[in-house]
Structure 1
Amino acid sequence: MSLIDWPEPTARSEAIFADDREEVGFVMNASRLWAYQPTLHEGIFELLGQLVHEHGLSYRQRGILVAACASALGDSYCSVAWGTKLARVADEDLAAGVLRGDDFGLSPAEHALAEWARKVARDPNATSAPDVRALRETGWTDRQIFAITAFVALRIAFSTVNDALGARPDAEYRSVAPPAVLKAITYGRPLAD
Structure 2
Amino acid sequence: MIITPPPVETATGHVADMYAADVASDGFVFAYTQALAVNPEAHAAFEQMIRAVVPSIGIGVYEAATLGAAQAIGSPHCLLAHARKALRAEVVDEQGLQSFTRGDDSGFSSAEQVVIRYARKLSGDAGSMSDADAQELRDAGFSDRQIVDITFAAGARNFLSRSLLALAVPVDEMPGLPPALAQSLTAS
Q: Where on the TM-score scale, by shorter chain, does this alignment land: which range?
A: 0.7 to 0.9
Query: Which amino acid counterpart does residue 3 of structure 1 have in structure 2?
Result: I
Partner of 2:50: 48
Range 126-135 or range 30-39, more displaced: 126-135
How high is the sequence identity, in percent, across the aligned residues?
A: 29
Residues in 1 aligned to 2:22 and 2:154: alpha-carbon distance in whole angstroms: 22
Partner of 1:151: 153
Helix, strand or coil: the match of 2:81? helix
Helix, strand or coil: the match of 2:71? helix
Contact (CA 8 Å) 2:121, 2:129: kept in 1 or not? Answer: yes
Structure 2 alignment gaps of length 5 or more: none
Query: Which amino acid counterpart does residue 20 of structure 2 have in structure 1?
Result: A
Residues in 1 aligned to 2:180 and 2:144: alpha-carbon distance in whole angstroms: 35
1:26 aligns with 2:33: no
Residues in 2 aligned to 1:33 and 1:160: alpha-carbon distance in whole angstroms: 13
Range 30-39 or range 179-188, more displaced: 179-188
Helix, strand or coil: the match of 1:166? coil
Instruction: Please give the TM-score of this superposition, normalised by the length of structure 2.
Output: 0.88
Alpha-carbon shift at residue 12 of structure 1 (Å): 2.2
Residues in 2 aligned to 1:79 and 1:92: alpha-carbon distance in whole angstroms: 13
- The 1:12–1:106 alpha-carbon spacing in structure 2 relative to 1, beyond 3 Å, is closer
- Taking the TM superposition and a 5 Å limit, the aligned residue runs for 1:6-85 are 6-8=5-7, 9-53=11-55, 55=56, 57-85=57-85
Alpha-carbon shift at residue 123 of structure 1 (Å): 1.1
Alpha-carbon shift at residue 186 of structure 1 (Å): 4.1
Contact (CA 8 Å) 1:67, 1:99: kept in 2 or not? Answer: no
Residues in 2 aligned to 1:180 and 1:142: alpha-carbon distance in whole angstroms: 38
Residues in 2 aligned to 1:136 and 1:182: alpha-carbon distance in whole angstroms: 33
CA deviations 1:103-148 (Å, max 9, x no partner) are 1122221111110110111111111232222111110112211111
Query: How many correspondences in the alignment?
Result: 183
Contact (CA 8 Å) 1:68, 1:98: kept in 2 or not? Answer: no
Residues in 2 aligned to 1:47 and 1:70: alpha-carbon distance in whole angstroms: 17
- Taking the TM superposition and a 5 Å limit, the aligned residue runs for 1:116-135 are 116-135=118-137
Helix, strand or coil: the match of 1:139? coil
Residues in 2 aligned to 1:81 and 1:34: alpha-carbon distance in whole angstroms: 15
Residues in 1 aligned to 2:22 and 2:4: alpha-carbon distance in whole angstroms: 20
Alpha-carbon shift at residue 27 of structure 1 (Å): 1.4
Partner of 2:95: 93
Alpha-carbon shift at residue 26 of structure 1 (Å): 2.8
Query: Which amino acid counterpart does residue 2 of structure 2 have in structure 1?
Result: L
Alpha-carbon shift at residue 20 of structure 1 (Å): 1.9
RMSD: 1.9
Alpha-carbon shift at residue 163 of structure 1 (Å): 0.9
Query: Which amino acid counterpart does residue 155 of structure 2 have in structure 1?
Result: A
Partner of 2:104: 102
- The 1:24–1:99 alpha-carbon spacing in structure 2 relative to 1, beyond 3 Å, is farther
Partner of 1:176: 176
Helix, strand or coil: the match of 2:82? helix
Range 26-35 or range 96-105, more displaced: 96-105
